[in-house]
Amino acid sequence: MRYRNKYLLALLGVIVLLSGVISACGQPGYVTYTNEIGGYSFSYPVNWQTEVSADSMIYIVKSQSGLASVRIDVIGPMSAQDAAQRWGIAMGTGNAEFALKENKSVEGPWDWYMSYDYDAGTGPFHGEAYFKSTTANIYKLDTAADLAGYGNYPFPYIISSFKLE
């Protein structure tokens, strides 16, 4: 009985230690990417596929299904509103069915927000773009997914995990 209590106590200690390690590493099932050149980090699901541009200024993660993605761009200095306008023009030029839903200044960690719907060739998609302006850069985090399933992806966690380094 005495050895059993010691064993259970040791097991409890290991469980507590492991739970502390897991919480220190972020949300389980997510990996954190740090872009030292762009000066940011964010977390995304570990099973999503990644692409990075040669200059490291564009980083894309895609869901396994290919029906959801997050794109982060680091752009030269300009206002968040100007960056949003340029993104809206680019999306509208590339997608005949582009419909801007919201385009506004926001309070909090992001300076500007826009949402839109478009036809991705595989059906209707929804996108949301968040813009953060610093003296050196504009950071754009753009989420996109099939319109019907947009709410099923972990976009709120991914967006809230974005940090400037």
- Residue 148 has phi, psi (to 5 degrees) of -70, -30
Q: Which residues contact 34 (CB under 8 A, 6 or more apart)?
A: 40, 41, 165
CATH match for 29-164 among 3.40.30.10, 3.40.50.720, 3.40.50.2300, 3.40.1000.10:
3.40.1000.10
Q: In this prediction, what percent of the chain has a pLDDT beyond 70? A: 84
Structural domain spans, the chain:
29-164
Amino acid letter for position 158: I
Q: State the pLDDT confidence band at 9, using cuts at 50, 70 and 90.
A: very low
Mean pLDDT across 23-40: 83
Residue 1 confidence class, pLDDT cut points 50, 70, 90? low
Tens digits of per-residue pLDDT, 90-145?
999 988 799 999 999 999 999 999 999 999 888 999 999 999 999 999 999 999 99
Split at pLDDT 50, 70, 90, the class of 13 is very low
